[in-house]
Amino acid sequence: MPVITCVEDLRILAKKRVPKAFYDYADSGSYTESTYRANTNDLAALKLRQRVAINVDQRSTRTTMIGQEVAMPVAIAPTGLTGMQWANGEMLGAIAAEKFGIPFTLSTMSICSIEDVASVTTKPFWFQLYVMRDRGFVKSMIDRAKAAKCSALVLTLDLQILGQRHKDLKNGMSVPPKLTLATLLDLASKPGWALRALTGRKTFGNLAGHISGGGSGIQTLSQWTASQFDPTLNWDDVAWIKEQWGGKLILKGILDVEDAKIAAQTGADALVVSNHGGRQLDGAMSSIEALPAIAEAVGDQIEVWFDGGIRSGQDILKATALGAKGTMIGRAFLYSLGAMGGEGVTKMLQILHKELDVSMALTGTKDIKDVGPQLLIRR
């Protein structure tokens, strides 16, 4: 086993262990991938102020996100097809997040179902909802999340139309993978993944048996999903979902100040500054570039969180310095899961926490709640 020192080590290991189609699904953006690259590049360009001779003993990364105590200002973001990175991956990720003391968000497009994740957790997790044309299905998903005692609903607003990801088309990505010669050769080179897949869930757990018409076959589910993302989604739908849900609501996919102002007036508990990991509008600004103006505009009305490009504890610190009250991590989670399963997720969280803690110390900061723009070098 190689020595794992950072998220990049986990990414490299995941690329070796996960079938190409599923690794590429996680590690790709739309079209030219310019926004995908900008998410990490713009974070890396931010510079921290090193401070010395300041008492930084007894540091704390603990804070709250929508009133929930968290070990650090991080939640696992909703990621589709997580169970194809490692068998039953959503369940393993939820267990690791709960033990570490941060929230886990289950995607609508997960392999393990809401009920699967509820069966292996002892504390409430969050559920992410896509708005589908079939409002009956949307209502049923909300009801299932309530029954599973999910403590927050994350409503994704930036997937009315699906952005094209070239790698998925070239790989013929499907769930489960189509058994072509290229796929068989790829699977043969990853026997550990193939053996685990035999006993893991193999379809969209939240959809199978629950979609209109009762279809549960892979092709049926894929066709139904492709036809269901709703381009008519608007703020009236947000109000309807808020009423149906009745609990903590997080709006994900905000990148514009005007949209942030509207989101803040909905009564939601938090908004997430996010461009869907660069997987939707290619050419949009990076999440970290959009964050400061949104935090300044609405940060006193609603919790502003950040998602997009986090690969280190320093990235968490930078986002916090620019106004984020919490962050969400997606690809770092998928890399760690694909590399080492649940053990990898725990390792990744430990790495991020240590990097955050050390960076706080070297910037003269004892408490994450004291982090602000003073930690950054302004040019």
> Active-site residue numbers?
276
Alpha-carbon distance of 23 to 89, in angstroms, equals 14
Which amino acid, residue 161? Answer: I
Three-state SS at 21:
helix
Going by C-alpha positions, the residue among 126, 161, 139, 124 that lies closest to residue 241 is 139
The conformation of residue 83, written as its DSSP 8-state character, comes to G
User: Nearest Cα to 309, choosing from 273, 359, 345?
Assistant: 273
Sequence letter at residue 76: I
Distance CA 272, CA 255 (A): 9
Tokens of 59: 């540091």
Burial class from Cβ neighbours inside 10 Å (0-12, 13-18, 19+) for residue 119 reads exposed
Kindly give the pairing relationship between strand 68-70 and strand 63-65: antiparallel
Q: What residues contact residue 209 under an 8 Å CB cut-off, 6+ apart?
A: 216
Other CB atoms within a 10 A radius of the CB of residue 125 amount to 25
Angle ∠(244,248,253) on CA atoms, nearest 5? 90
Write the CB contacts of 102 (distance below 8 Å, at least 6 apart in sequence): 70, 71, 72, 74, 75, 76, 349
Q: Which residue carries 């790829």 as its tokens?
A: 186
User: Could you give the 3-state DSSP secondary structure of residue 59?
Assistant: coil
From 115, 39, 90, select the one nearest 282 (Cα to Cα): 39
Strands (E), the chain: 63-65, 68-70, 74-76, 105-106, 126-129, 152-156, 248-254, 270-273, 303-307, 326-329
How far CA 113 is from CA of 19, 103, 276, 368, in Å, comes to 22, 17, 22, 34
Nearest to 253 by CA among 133, 135, 155: 155
